Amino acid sequence: MAWTYLILAGLLEIGWPIGLKLGWTENGPRPLWLGFAVLCIILSGSFLLQAQRVIPMGTAYAVWTGIGAVGTFAVGIVAFGDAVSMLRIASAGLIIAGVVGLKFA
pLDDT of residue 52: 97
pLDDT tens digits, 44-69: 999 999 999 999 999 999 999 999 99
Give every CB contact of residue 100 below 8 A, 6+ residues apart in sequence. none
* Burial category of 59 from C-beta neighbours within 10 Å (exposed 0-12, middle 13-18, buried 19 and up): middle
Residue 59: its pLDDT value, please? Answer: 92
Quote the mean pLDDT of the chain.
96
Q: Where are the domains of the chain?
A: 2-104
pLDDT, residue 104, reads 85
Q: Which of 66, 97, 92, 95 is nearest to 105 (CA)?
A: 97
Query: Which parts of the chain fold into alpha helices (H)?
Result: 2-23, 31-51, 57-80, 86-104
82-94 pLDDT, tens digit per residue, is 999 999 999 999 9
Using CA atoms, how far residue 7 sits from 43, 45, 62, 69, 83, in Å, is: 12, 12, 12, 13, 26
Against a cut of 0.85, is the pTM above it?
Answer: yes
pLDDT number for residue 31 = 98
User: Would you say residue 73 has pLDDT above 90?
Assistant: yes
Q: Tell me, what's the pLDDT at 17?
A: 97
